[in-house]
Structure 1
């Protein structure tokens, strides 16, 4: 394989491959299972995976800058608790409260990483523990029921045109905004430059520190909105949820072709990575229904870990020969 071909695969092959993979999984499911292409399965799939698509898009921005955010799962759980606590005031109050909870956690991460110069792994691990503890304290270690008399549950349980969940519609709006940010807005270009080489970006007069800070704040906001979806869709704030969500987000971002070292990333490809992982679990559920095998929910964590390991191994294999070019 020539260097030119390797470079093309490193730059575009993985992103294209994951989108083709999503189409192949959809084709497989449609041909093999009777109800796979039903509106009910489509709506349920989109509604459940809206949360993971959101945290994946936020994680994409962070990894593009060369960072990592381990706190997205517990921040989403905390946001679900705060949103559920304000659900009696309606969606117009509970939704902003949940999102603001996530933004506050993201701002805390940004402060520790950009201002205090704490490594992202340590800083976001601290936020993970703090968010989890806070969620357990304010919920008294129990689920927090939502107020069913308000309109709060409409976001997570109602559909547009009978099949498109409001949660996924809102996720699409956020996704378009983040795609524009990365592809067309100066802030997105600075994020990429900071991830590629922060010292060079600073020498060029770019505010790489602010770009990294915004990446963590936006990532926190996405986790906060995912928490609102969690509370609205399941009818309760879930302080013990979110375990392994960060692994799902990282796996989805990496399979979409974003480099863990930063400097390159794609919102659409990351979304495709999240949908691919969701489709794999959806297909496994259908196989369970056919009686082919019987995998418990705990196997999902094993599959996520194996999925992430294989993807990172492939990414290293593709990009390593380019280091000396």
Structure 2
């Protein structure tokens, strides 16, 4: 038992060193880009731009946090974008009852989707890629059915839109507050609870985790439910902030989440990851697109919104190639 404890402590120390290096690397890139943008654009550091930027990107950060847990187990969740759309449609229908009803309903939609994903993966033994792909199609189809293939207007007579458009203390938008609360919760869950260690252990070696007596299926249920819940919360933000449930929104958001997680240094193979680095990765990607908007405003370049997908894909490809080279290099050193 003492030997296992020592091995666990050594592994934890090594992981913390690796994740801290990842966070430092992303933070340095973030600071350099921020410095460049602040010198080039007069309104870049204005309160309006900062709050608008963080408020909009809160949705991507939320699904990125959930995706981080999933990827750390060695899995993938392709359904988050569709779950966001489905949640937005459902809460739009529930909006006349106020945010007190719509918010838990939207999160519940995500929890249900995550639970179904987990059941298919753990009980039916379907690989996460296929299981969540099926959910992606099913959730999108259900969103279109419930909305009759059109945007569902929310009720402006209730307090529902205050969640997406209102501010706490007339200063901090509620989406930012919700995102920060979710970030702190996820960080504590990973760093301070056994659940986080189990997630990393499963990603490192699932069979070894079972032999150690870890409740692998229970942990995977928790991970996919968490991912679904955060996607559901993003759907509430979407409907409340834009005034409508949008069944066609969320297309490609799962790729944005994956890109943020991978850019943050989390290994696609699982077993290593950081909530802080994922937050910074999501902000870094969002910041690049924010800069492109400023450049369009200056008229020096003219990039359409479609270029965001091109840039996101390029980032993802570069980081994955770098990860693959690092992993192969470590494997070669281990062999010798």
Match of 1:124 among 122, 132, 147: 132
* Deviation of the 1:319 alpha carbon: 2.5
On the 8 A contact 1:39/1:163 being kept in 2, the answer is: no
On the 8 A contact 1:10/1:319 being kept in 2, the answer is: no
1:4 is matched with none
Q: How many residue pairs end up in the alignment?
A: 319
After the TM superposition, list the runs of 4 or more consecutive aligned residues in structure 1 that deviate by more than 4 angstroms.
Answer: 7-12
Cα distance between partner residues in 1 of 2:182 and 2:156:
26
On the 8 A contact 1:195/1:264 being kept in 2, the answer is: yes
Match of 1:71 among 79, 84, 88: 79
Cα distance between partner residues in 2 of 1:47 and 1:61:
22
Match of 2:221 among 213, 217, 236: 213
Match of 2:63 among 49, 55, 62: 55
| TM alignment of 1:1-325, pairs within 5 A | 12-324=20-332, 325=334
2:3 is matched with none
On the 8 A contact 1:46/1:164 being kept in 2, the answer is: no
On the 8 A contact 1:80/1:98 being kept in 2, the answer is: yes
**Are residues 211 and 140 of structure 1, via their aligned partners in 2, closer, same or farther at CA, if it must alter by over 3 Å?**
same
* Deviation of the 1:203 alpha carbon: 0.7
RMSD: 1.4
Cα distance between partner residues in 2 of 1:174 and 1:126:
27
Cα distance between partner residues in 2 of 1:161 and 1:313:
45
**Are residues 9 and 283 of structure 1, via their aligned partners in 2, closer, same or farther at CA, if it must alter by over 3 Å?**
farther
On the 8 A contact 1:18/1:273 being kept in 2, the answer is: yes
2:77 is paired with a residue of what secondary structure?
coil
Cα distance between partner residues in 2 of 1:33 and 1:115:
53
1:297 is paired with a residue of what secondary structure?
coil
TM-score, normalised by the number of residues in structure 1: 0.96
**Are residues 274 and 303 of structure 1, via their aligned partners in 2, closer, same or farther at CA, if it must alter by over 3 Å?**
same
Please list the CA deviations of residues 251-272 of structure 1 after superposition, one character each: whole Å capped at 9, or x if unmatched: 1001111110000111010010
Deviates more, 1:311-320 or 1:286-295: 311-320
Cα distance between partner residues in 1 of 2:166 and 2:16:
43
On the 8 A contact 1:42/1:163 being kept in 2, the answer is: no
For structure 2, the residue ranges without an aligned partner over 5 or more in a row are: 1-14
Cα distance between partner residues in 2 of 1:95 and 1:268:
26
* Deviation of the 1:300 alpha carbon: 1.0
1:118 is paired with a residue of what secondary structure?
coil
Cα distance between partner residues in 2 of 1:188 and 1:209:
14
2:255 is paired with a residue of what secondary structure?
helix
TM-score, normalised by the number of residues in structure 2: 0.92
Cα distance between partner residues in 2 of 1:230 and 1:14:
30
Cα distance between partner residues in 2 of 1:16 and 1:320:
23
On the 8 A contact 1:107/1:213 being kept in 2, the answer is: yes
Cα distance between partner residues in 1 of 2:172 and 2:281:
20
